[in-house]
Amino acid sequence: MAAKQETAAAVRDVEQYKYGFVTDIESDKAPKGLSEDIIRFISAKKNEPDWMLEARLKAYRYWLTLAGEEPAWAKLTYPKIDYQASYYYAAPKQKLASMDEVDPKLLETYKKLGIPLAEQAVLAGVAVDAVFDSVSVATTYKKKLEEMGVIFKPISEAVHSHPELVKKYLGSVVPYTDNFFAALNAAVFTDGSFVYIPKGLRCPMELSTYFRINEKNTGQFERTLIIADEGAYVSYLEGCTAPMRDENQLHAAVVELITLDDAEIKYSTVQNWYPGDAEGKGGIYNFVTKRGACRGKNSKIMWTQVETGSAITWKYPSCILQGDNSVGEFYSVAITNNHQQADTGTKMIHLGANTRSKIISKGISAGKADNTYRGLVRIGAKADGARNYTQCDSLLIGDKCGAHTVPYIESRNPTAQTEHEATTSKISEDQLFYCQQRGMTEEEAVSLIVNGFCREVLQTLPMEFAVEAQKLVGISLEGSVG
Amino acid sequence: MALLEIKNLHVSVGGKKILNGISLALNAGEVHAIMGPNGTGKSTLSNVIAGRDGYEVTEGQVLLDGRDVLAMAADERARAGVFLAFQYPVEIPGVTTSAFLKTAINAKRRAEGKPEIDAMEFLKLVKAKQKILGMPDDMIKRALNVGFSGGEKKRAEVLQMTLLEPRVAILDETDSGLDIDALKIVSEGVNTLRSPERAFLIITHYQRLLNYIVPDHVHVLVGGKVVASGGKELAEQLEAEGYARYLSAA
Amino acid sequence: MKQSALLVHPFGARYAAALPAADSARREARETLALEGLPGPKREEWRFTPLRGLAKIPFIPAASAEDIDVRDIPADVPRFAGAVRVVLVNGVYRADLSDKVSEAGLAIMEAKTPDHDVHAPLAVLNAAYMSGGVTIAARGVVAKPVHIVSIGAAGAEPAAFHPRFAVAVAPAAKLTVLETHHGLPGQPYFSNPVTTISVGTAGVLRRYVLVREDSEAFHLATTVADVAADAKFDAFHLGLGGALVRQEINVDFVGEGAAVRLNGAYALTGRAHHDFTTFMNHDMPNCTSSQVFKGVVDGESRGVYQGRLLVARHAQKTDGQQLHKALFLSRGPQIDCKPELEIYADDVKCAHGATTGEMDPDHLFYLAARGIDPQAARLLLVQGFLADALENVDDAAVHDILSAEISGWLMRKASA
């Protein structure tokens, strides 16, 4: 059967080949725009097997049927995106020759965040020859992980080394038909991480803590797939507190998580992409589809996100709680300042019995920004004994911004219990004065109060990340008061 | 030169005159008490010295070591050594007392050109002071003032005062809402801070607190003015006679 | 708008042809209706309340059916002692069944044309085919409350009617209105009322609504209210029956210091569908709104609450609260809830809460331990759950009427 499909695919391929390649495969950059040729080019560049190319083309053809109709339900306004005006493949950027070439503002922020000098260079895109500690640490740990049976590699490599796993799971949680951006990603994704934790293994280190430097994926269209086999556990860190500059305005990542029986994945994100300037010019459009499937019983997926960057954030890390007794958790801090807009939240889909979910969302809006929590809690008819608890708090700083809460609660099971609470508040004059009376500057006071507001979420981050994230909260709100 | 000098201070709130020319001089080492009936401007005085928004100083000066306090932002005043123990300490959800204290201590240390306080040293210091004030160890792990009883809040204020070592400490109705045991503990905390380098301004409605913190000078504030000044016996007299005499005069 | 958002419905040319020539207001509305149609499932505000079933029924205008003859007020319509009773049958004012008005400060007139533009899809349908209605105006403190009784009935064919109610409370005036909706069994009928309310400066309006339509009936009601400075609008809505019921209430704050309380409850059995949709448009500073909605669902029914609360940039010091609590009585029903806050002002107090779940087993056990059998215990607890929602019904007589309606619902359920 599979063989038959492959043949059919090959025949289709040959037929389509007659339109020929318009792009030289040796080139570092595909021409602007999106077409089947571009997708073939990307696939060829990565030397992908036919089935992968087929999957991409299928997604692309589906995407075409959507006729440019992006989802319109989010509370976001941005100019129409011209998908033919973007580049979909480019070789890595030219490195800067030395630290002197780096934007001093960027370096100042690195300093405030307390990022070590060596890391700063890499983050800023400076070419470094010397092997510094963290890289060698990374190499050591990588070897150790391999010995334990952990597969942790770029997904483009996994396609070759573990095609059976990739075939089985890729697109199984976020199919290309899921939404406009997921279809686009499935067609053009360039790279991302692949993680497989074997049965019974508790991965002893936070993945990518040590790797964030040399395995940094700053691609436009990342694709991440993490599988925790029975009884396995892994904590995965994505992103970085350091501000990220990227010339590509459109980002559309897809992340899929799968937990089998008794497995657990903890996925933490800090997103600090370029938010645009104070007048709202520029900034990244970040359309992300993140979803985890708790397929096995007693399994658990926990999302923590700290979203401070991007001009537009459209992101709903979700959990499909299929296995009985499975648990989904979502902890979110979203900060918008100046002209940023964020529409973010989660979906908790309860299918199995005794499934539990918890949602803690903290939205902070300042400047002229809009910040929306949008969430869905759905209890299926078979989810006996399911439980959900949701707490959404919004904080407004100033009277030019907006904070919005749009929860959907849909229950079809009498034995399930859902509980949702939302509040809106501001930093009171009394709180500010109290802190100032104890000698803190206004900015220190705001940072302290907002960190307190976010505490429940920030404390779910791995230690090292948490400290930087706390500083980031303050930095993101600089200039928002007074 | 007096440590804190208030000269002919006139203050309005929303166009309404609250303080009508107050002059006071607090020398280092002195404890002054300001007494008066409700609504007479006692809290206005403490808020103006500490730099809260919403008060309009129409005339007069406040000087700390000869420096113009009114020209400074609230946080600058605090770092210069002005401490206000609030009548109603503010609750800040999620911010632990310990994080708050550390931030405040470091803000002051930075202004003094000192390095940030070491985490262990900080804990040791706080624990020692907490013990003196009869506070449970885990109190600093709780969110600042959130769910604190009235007594706990006031003790936390004194704890902050102890740690921040101000030049001038203003206690705004610190005795309100305290039972006798808490009052004793808080007063002891304050008394241990009395020193030749420091001055206190104690604002109170009742004489009760002054049994425990014995003032050098007592001033009666009525109608936004100091209508009488004297020694600690003045407080006792007020306790016995009430404010009627001054009210009718004003 | 996308075509998929529209619905092909029976209120087209055939429906219009059965009625006399339209006046200009109705004509204009029919043109809008032809363009905009009825909302389909892709319209966000209608996602939980599909109109597909309604659209499939070949309704005729109730006024054109010659085989409907209602001569009396049905016996189960509650009596509101001391109230001025105003009766409509199939959306047409019936002087013969109504009380004469002789109350100082109170004027009740028959409404003939859709005077107010109301921009909601069902209000457009109403304006296109308005069947009749009443206008109530209050000046000063009106001692006697008004009881509007709406009775629906179809003949051999399913019938629809579209009444209009206008309630105007003058500045500093006070009025209490009870509105009850009932119907006769038979072919399905569709009641599509629109109510426009204005409460003048420092005026007070208490409005109580009971929807207990026939189990086959459709009831889609749209209410729009303007509430002026320092005015109070206090409303309670009880939904106890109908195949498909929606009570949509939109409130505009047009003056400072206004206070609105919008409460409600529903109790559903069988395949009943009930939808509360509210919109609080806080466009003025210093206003308060509070909403508490409670529902119990049994059989294969579906309860919906959608509440949107919008606080404009300049509406500082707004206090807006929303709460929805739903109780499942069996396996099979469905609850959909969407409380929504949209806030552009920072000095506000806004919050919402929502819960779903079944009866607390501890409560049941407690009653069992006191010797109460499980069935009686459940009834008692349901009654308690709903009675709690009635707590803020200030008018004692109305409280009794609604309380009796809830008991009646429980008794019918127990005997079913």
Q: What is the CA radius of gyration of chain C?
A: 21
Q: What is the pLDDT of residue A16?
A: 37
Q: What is the DSSP string of A199-247?
A: TT-B--S-BTTTTTTTT----SSBEEEEEE-TT-EEEEEEE-SS-B--S
Reduce the DSSP state of residue B16 to 3 states and report it. Answer: strand
Q: Are C265 and C212 in contact (CB under 8 A)?
A: no
A438/B104 Cβ within 8 A:
yes
Is residue A27 very low, low, confident or very high in pLDDT (cuts 50, 70, 90)? low
Cα–Cα distance list, B115 to A266, B104, B108 (Å): 37, 13, 10
Q: Distance from A391 to chain C by nearest Cα, in Å?
A: 9
Quick: pLDDT tens for C78-132: 999 999 999 999 999 999 999 998 889 999 999 988 887 888 999 999 999 999 9
Chains in touch with C (≥3 Cβ pairs < 8 A): A
Residue A9's H or E segment, with its range, is helix A2-17
- Taking phi first (over 0 means left), then psi (-120 to 50 degrees means alpha), and beta for anything else, what does residue B242 get? left
Q: How deeply is A72 buried, as exposed, middle or buried, from its count of CB atoms within 10 A (0-12, 13-18, 19+)?
A: exposed
Quick: pLDDT tens for A83-111: 888 778 766 555 677 777 777 777 777 77
Neighbours of A317 (CB within 10 A): 26
Q: Are A207 and A76 in contact (CB under 8 A)?
A: no
- Taking phi first (over 0 means left), then psi (-120 to 50 degrees means alpha), and beta for anything else, what does residue B60 get? left
- Measured between beta carbons, the chain A residues lying within 8 angstroms of C295 are none
For the ranges A133-142, A253-262, A352-361, C205-214, the lowest mean pLDDT is seen at A133-142
Neighbours of C100 (CB within 10 A): 8
Q: What is the pLDDT of residue B198?
A: 96
Q: What is the pLDDT of residue A107?
A: 74
Q: How far apart are CA C409 and CA C416, in angstroms?
A: 10
Q: What is the pLDDT of residue B64?
A: 96
Residue C275's H or E segment, with its range, is strand C273-282
Put simply, the chain C residues between 50 and 79 with a CB less than 8 A from any chain A CB are none
Whether chain B has a CB inside 8 Å of the CB on A449: the answer is yes
Whether chain B has a CB inside 8 Å of the CB on A438: the answer is yes
Whether chain C has a CB inside 8 Å of the CB on A385: the answer is no
> For strand B4-13 and strand B16-26, is the pairing parallel, antiparallel, or unpaired?
antiparallel
Q: What is the pLDDT of residue A214?
A: 35
Chain centroid to CA A362: 17
Residue C93's H or E segment, with its range, is strand C92-93
Quick: pLDDT tens for A171-190: 999 999 999 999 999 999 98
Nearest to A409 by CA among B56, C295, C136, B60: C295
Q: Average pLDDT in the B171-196 region?
A: 89
Whether chain A has a CB inside 8 Å of the CB on C4: the answer is no
Q: How far apart are CA C145 and CA C206, in angstroms?
A: 9
Whether chain A has a CB inside 8 Å of the CB on C364: the answer is no
Q: Are C177 and C148 in contact (CB under 8 A)?
A: yes
The DSSP code for A126 is B
Is residue A217 very low, low, confident or very high in pLDDT (cuts 50, 70, 90)? very low
Best C296, C317, C356, C364 member to test A by mutation, with max A CBs in 10 Å, is C356
All domains of chain B, ordered by start, with CATH? 31-37+75-249 (3.40.50.300)
**Of residues B51, B73, B160, nearest to A438 (C-beta):** B160
ipTM exceeding 0.85, yes/no = yes
C331/A418 Cβ within 8 A:
no
Q: What is the pLDDT of residue A476?
A: 87
The DSSP code for A56 is H
- Measured between beta carbons, the chain B residues lying within 8 angstroms of A394 are none
Residue that has been written with the tokens 């001391």 in this structure:
C82
Q: How far apart are CA C310 and CA C312, in angstroms?
A: 6
Q: How deeply is A139 buried, as exposed, middle or buried, from its count of CB atoms within 10 A (0-12, 13-18, 19+)?
A: middle
Task: Copy the structure tokens of residue C140.
Answer: 């000063």
Is residue A127 very low, low, confident or very high in pLDDT (cuts 50, 70, 90)? low
Task: Copy the structure tokens of residue A396.
Answer: 């407004």
Whether the predicted pLDDT of A129 surpasses 60: no
Q: What is the pLDDT of residue B241?
A: 86
Whether the predicted pLDDT of A401 surpasses 90: yes
Phi and psi torsions of A327, nearest 5° = -130, 135
Nearest to C326 by CA among C304, C308, C341, C352: C304
A420/C339 Cβ within 8 A:
yes
Average pLDDT score over chain B: 91
Q: Are A220 and A251 in contact (CB under 8 A)?
A: yes
Reduce the DSSP state of residue C22 to 3 states and report it. Answer: coil
Nearest to C275 by CA among C243, C321, C312: C243
Q: Distance from B221 to chain A by nearest Cα, in Å?
A: 24
Residues 6+ apart with CB under 8 A from C330: A414, C298, C299
Q: What is the pLDDT of residue A248?
A: 65
Whether chain C has a CB inside 8 Å of the CB on A337: the answer is no
Residues 6+ apart with CB under 8 A from C154: C62, C65, C68, C186, C187, C188, C189
Q: Are A355 and A319 in contact (CB under 8 A)?
A: no
Whether the predicted pLDDT of A134 surpasses 70: no
Quick: pLDDT tens for A220-269: 788 999 999 999 999 998 876 666 656 668 889 999 999 999 999 999 99
The DSSP code for C18 is T
Q: What is the pLDDT of residue A20?
A: 31
| Better-predicted residue by pLDDT, A215 or C179 | C179
Average pLDDT score over chain A: 85
- Listed as ranges, residues in chain C with pLDDT below 70 are 1-6
Residue B5's DSSP bridge partners are: B25, B63
pTM given for the model: 0.88
Is residue A23 very low, low, confident or very high in pLDDT (cuts 50, 70, 90)? very low
Q: What is the pLDDT of residue C383?
A: 87
Whether chain C has a CB inside 8 Å of the CB on A71: the answer is no
Whether chain C has a CB inside 8 Å of the CB on A422: the answer is yes
Q: How deeply is A165 buried, as exposed, middle or buried, from its count of CB atoms within 10 A (0-12, 13-18, 19+)?
A: middle
**Range A9-16, long-range pairs (CB < 8 A, 24+ positions):** A9/A50, A9/A51, A9/A54, A10/A50, A12/A54, A13/A50, A13/A53, A13/A54
Quick: pLDDT tens for B68-113: 999 999 899 999 999 999 998 988 888 889 988 988 999 899 889 9
Chains A and C touch (3+ CB pairs under 8 A): yes
Q: What is the pLDDT of residue A138?
A: 57
- Measured between beta carbons, the chain A residues lying within 8 angstroms of C353 are 419-422
Cα torsion at B44, B49, B55, B60 (round to 10°)? 100
Q: How far apart are CA A76 and CA A74, in angstroms?
A: 6
Task: Copy the structure tokens of residue A50.
Answer: 């036919």
Q: How far apart are CA A260 and CA B106, in angstroms?
A: 48
